[in-house]
Amino acid sequence: MPRPIRLDLSFSALEHNLQEVIRRLEAGRRSDAGLRPPASRPPVSRPHIWGVVKANAYGHGLELAVGALAAADGLAMLDLEEAVRARQAGWQGPIMLLEGFFQPQDIAVLRRHGLSAVIHCSEQLDMLEQSEPGPALDAWVKLNVGMNRLGFAPSAYVAAWDRARALHARGVLATVGRMSHFSRADDDDVVTAAQRQCFLDVTRGLDGPVSICNSAATLNDVWHDAALGDSQWVRPGVCLYGGSPFATRSAAGLGLRPVQTLHSQLLAVHDLAAGAPVGYGHQFVAPQAMRVGIVACGYADGYPRHAPNGTPVTVAGVRTRLLGRVSMDMLAVDLDPVPTAAAGAPVVLWGEGGPSVDEVARAADTIGYELMCAVAPRVPRREVK
């Protein structure tokens, strides 16, 4: 028998979370909500949605996402091979490559599979200008509004835009859109409003669709401004998988359901005397007589090694806590709240019926995104409808 660890992936939760984003966009369009300042007027139509499926759909599997995100308007990712996989899985809609292309020979792959490219640097424009004739590509010219990761500086943007428009006139590019990415949409509305204003100031008078909002900006209605035009595309990622982009708002509170659930079982139970240590380094010592359980899950499965004593975990439906240092293949839990639990008892490390991935991440001083992406390949996956 294989080790009793398993990652369940819920197709219906992924569908639900996309519908929840659609519902919020529809509701937002009808209200005067939105990032303040400034008070905003709603755009005429709700934004289109790029479902972000980079990193193998945040660890959930690209093929699962292609099926469950059928109601999205497009998919966004960054690996050319993943884009080809999405086509092979049957995705016929738009695909946005968030880092564009990397070398001249990639352009032929983009044309063959009808992929849209983010253009973030002048080298990419050089490659397009020097490319052989072929079918026109959709492109999104990226503005750097302050993250200083990818994108043209505000002072260089219009010149890049003009080169992209010239490529459009030559038939190398089809639609040319405007794109950016916020650095603090999850935690600072003032910075985000200033970054949005920078986008509006720099791209004023340029036409083409707009794509600026990740999950946090989408859920905070940052798209909600008629000045951004009526062809917007939001780019939610983590919220589709049931993670919260915010440190202080839970995914459940946002109406999201976990897509991944990491299950395991107790391998063993021990009665400890007061003073007995648990695990490597004796980082937990029993303050009184107590029972502990040993769970088949460790850092080689993707559980964070830095999770401290007290990190939440659910055993037989009862919430309890991690004890001692996480080892490669096992971790220990407090069984005092579940005195009847024996070897074989079910354990949920995170997800449906257990703590949220964000709670475990917070305890381990990271974010749910990292844990979702890091479940190890050795953990068997099972799709649940």
Ligand X SMILES: *Cc1c(COP(=O)(O)O)cnc(C)c1O
In angstroms, give the least distance from the CB of 210 to ligand X: 13
The answer to whether the CB of 322 falls within 8 A of the CB of 310 is yes
Work out whether 195 is an interface residue with ligand X (CB under 6 A).
Answer: no
Which residues in 72-111 contact ligand X (CB under 6 A)? 98
Question: Is 54 part of the annotated catalytic residue set?
Answer: yes
CA-based Rg of the chain, rounded to a whole angstrom? 24
Work out whether 220 is an interface residue with ligand X (CB under 6 A).
Answer: no
Residue nearest to ligand X (CB): 237
Of 10 and 244, CB closest to ligand X: 244
User: Could you give the CA distance from residue 364 to residue 350 in angstroms, rounded to a whole number?
Assistant: 13
User: Could you give the CA distance from residue 365 to residue 219 in angstroms, rounded to a whole number?
Assistant: 23
Look at residues 149, 152, 97, 95 and name the one whose alpha carbon lies nearest to residue 123. 152
Question: Is 241 part of the annotated catalytic residue set?
Answer: no
Those residues whose C-beta lies under 8 Å from the C-beta of residue 155, and which sit 6 or more positions away, are none
Look at residues 97, 143, 145, 147 and name the one whose alpha carbon lies nearest to residue 121. 143
Give how many residues touch ligand X by CB under 6 A. 11
Looking at the chain, how many residues does it have? Answer: 385
Q: Which of 46, 181, 257, 325 binds ligand X (CB under 6 A)?
A: 181
Work out whether 52 is an interface residue with ligand X (CB under 6 A).
Answer: yes
Work out whether 236 is an interface residue with ligand X (CB under 6 A).
Answer: yes
Of 113 and 184, CB closest to ligand X: 184
Q: Which of 10, 124, 192, 214 binds ligand X (CB under 6 A)?
A: 214
In angstroms, give the least distance from the CB of 79 to ligand X: 12
Work out whether 237 is an interface residue with ligand X (CB under 6 A).
Answer: yes
Piece of the chain touching ligand X by CB under 6 A; list 199-207, 234-242, 263-271, 348-356? 234-242
Work out whether 279 is an interface residue with ligand X (CB under 6 A).
Answer: no
Q: Which of 40, 192, 215, 220 binds ligand X (CB under 6 A)?
A: 215
Tokens of 22: 């659609």
Dihedral angle sign, alpha carbons of residues 188, 191, 194, 196: negative
Strands (E), the chain: 6-10, 48-52, 74-77, 95-97, 116-119, 137-143, 173-180, 210-211, 233-234, 260-272, 277-278, 284-285, 290-295, 312-315, 318-323, 331-334, 346-350, 381-384
Which residues in 256-275 contact ligand X (CB under 6 A)? none
Residues near ligand X (CB under 6 A) = 52, 54, 98, 181, 214-215, 235-238, 245
* Residues that are catalytic: 54, 280
